[in-house]
Structure 1
């Protein structure tokens, strides 16, 4: 096993001594890495060559595998992994799910598998295979009843499927360097959402809305960091600064204005809190993420129409009897 890039791992069973290959397949490739029981076909020479590209919240594996069955058992489900997997095989796949029945995915058409369910998979030909495993949270906001979708749901003739397949097939150490993994992950997510049944307009607007909501949630807990800026947030969410600005502009505001509003609201809440009457206003402002006092006082007056001292005085004297 070797890594040809920080986010690419390649493996060949040829690197393992012959006498240890079956045990390695079962224990390392199966139970440890895939969290599945693996049963190699007795009439075929063991083969397992593959390359995995690691992306944010997903990974794509391509390779060539000898015939074997894969089973996600109740015992191995104790890892709590509820990822979703799309698995392509040259010979198609036969999927059996206890309580739900048997399904067949045609050659070169993916089987949809949820890792929080028991299932077994076998194939007639895996001389080439490909799988994309991803966090279900990437698609659940946009795909209704994800858990009700059949393993053989995806239509191989669907243009979106062909686009997804081609995109994943093109991934390699050269086309997926670490600097581009975030962008690639976004592209794959949008294609997955569409392939799993969301309308194009729903997927597009839904992705934008979900990303904006996630950014706002992050800002609500990180606004106090003095150095917080749009570049940091863009890196965290693996999107461009331009895209973030577009998301806020669609709500008739800007990233900086939204962040300033969060900080000012925090300061205001402290100023009207009687328990904090002895705290210095400058200390509260700094705690909220303001670095320059003059900037804070100017923005506070613009927002509330009065000075911080006046807000505190009014709050502290409210309800007191007049002299």
Structure 2
């Protein structure tokens, strides 16, 4: 882009492209370049006069979250453009928040309404038409993260998921909120959320492929994954209880406990386990050396330092002080602060 129309940075982890400060006669060129920079080599057709356009991006683990507000456009990604691109190994999960769209890929030609989401593969030709002002929210992620074969991926592209279906009602608002708030999470939390998002997307793929054993089980798994992500977001809240979680998701406490039976663990034990994992990583970080053990415990939702010490020793065979001392002597064995290794709990 030209020097006077370069993207503005909203923060250290994301990028903002906006036409607000771009002279009217340069907006069309600027907007085409901004869209291509964000979504790869694409032939963009945009109106001669651009009124407004904004693209916000933020990283979330291995993914990129993107919000686009703009005027009507047409996007065409041909085999020639794919061959010259360096991002053909990504897929996009896109939620249409406003406007309508037509998407064509893998012999399918679908109309997308507000509230619907769909998947497309950047490794194969695609045509997308948005005939009116729109807003979209997207997750851009490496293809191998989903663990799908080429054949499986072809079966789920350009196939809108209706927001009125059980899974659509779960995923659409979740994805919307996730994209809106992705830039607010510290790295360790973002990585944890990303893992839960991948599980949700795999559930979506299972649903589209028909590989889930039953709709009810599929919906239950999806609800559980969403609740696990919610817990990770609110670990620091000392009032995070089964009752509060059930109320936030408009389900009964009894049903919440039933969902966690799928993991063979209680809700309270899961919360405690996740808090302990975060405290253990915090105690391993050199940057946290100035914090007292009680401060670390309180940061992650424990209200009693003595209780925290007891459950920490029971979980890890050492007191918090002993763990911190060991991590300081053997830093290579501590989980790195920038890339926590949070286990999947299946």
TM category, shorter: 0.5 to 0.7
Aligned to 2:99: 91
Q: What do residues 22-49 of structure 1 show as CA deviations (whole Å, max 9, x unaligned)?
A: 112223432675321111134x634211
- Tell whether the 8 Å contact from 1:62 to 1:129 is kept in structure 2 after alignment: yes
Instruction: Give the TM-score taking structure 1 as reference length.
Output: 0.58
Structure 1 residues 178, 19: CA separation in 2 closer, same or farther (over 3 Å shift)?
farther
In the alignment, does 2:333 pair up with 1:229?
Answer: yes
SS in 2 for 1:145: helix
- Tell whether the 8 Å contact from 2:95 to 2:176 is kept in structure 1 after alignment: no
Aligned to 1:180: 189
Deviation of residue 70 (structure 1)?
Answer: 1.0
Q: CA RMSD in A?
A: 3.3
SS in 2 for 1:184: helix
From 47, 51, 56, give the equivalent of 2:56: 51
From 113, 118, 133, give the equivalent of 2:120: 113
Of residues 107-116 and 151-160 in structure 1, the stretch that sits farther from structure 2 once superposed is 151-160
From 26, 33, 51, give the equivalent of 1:27: 33
Aligned to 1:253: none
- Tell whether the 8 Å contact from 1:140 to 1:146 is kept in structure 2 after alignment: no
Aligned to 1:312: none
In the alignment, does 2:195 pair up with 1:195?
Answer: no
Distance in structure 1 (CA, Å) of the matches to 2:168 and 2:141: 16
From 105, 111, 121, give the equivalent of 1:104: 111
Which runs of no fewer than 5 residues in structure 2 stay unpaired? Answer: 1-6, 213-217, 226-262, 264-329
SS in 2 for 1:112: strand
Distance in structure 2 (CA, Å) of the matches to 1:143 and 1:185: 23
- Counting matched residue pairs gives 221
Distance in structure 2 (CA, Å) of the matches to 1:20 and 1:31: 17
- Tell whether the 8 Å contact from 2:74 to 2:129 is kept in structure 1 after alignment: yes
Q: Which runs of 4+ in 1 moved over 4 A?
A: 141-144, 200-205
Distance in structure 2 (CA, Å) of the matches to 1:128 and 1:138: 26
Structure 1 residues 187, 180: CA separation in 2 closer, same or farther (over 3 Å shift)?
same
Which runs of no fewer than 5 residues in structure 1 stay unpaired? Answer: 209-225, 248-323
Distance in structure 1 (CA, Å) of the matches to 2:119 and 2:134: 20
Higher-Rg structure is 1
- Tell whether the 8 Å contact from 2:72 to 2:133 is kept in structure 1 after alignment: yes
Of residues 155-164 and 63-72 in structure 1, the stretch that sits farther from structure 2 once superposed is 155-164
Aligned to 1:250: none
Aligned to 1:67: 72
Structure 1 residues 126, 139: CA separation in 2 closer, same or farther (over 3 Å shift)?
farther
- Tell whether the 8 Å contact from 2:95 to 2:175 is kept in structure 1 after alignment: no
Distance in structure 2 (CA, Å) of the matches to 1:30 and 1:21: 14
Distance in structure 2 (CA, Å) of the matches to 1:143 and 1:77: 16
Aligned to 2:16: 10
SS in 2 for 1:134: strand
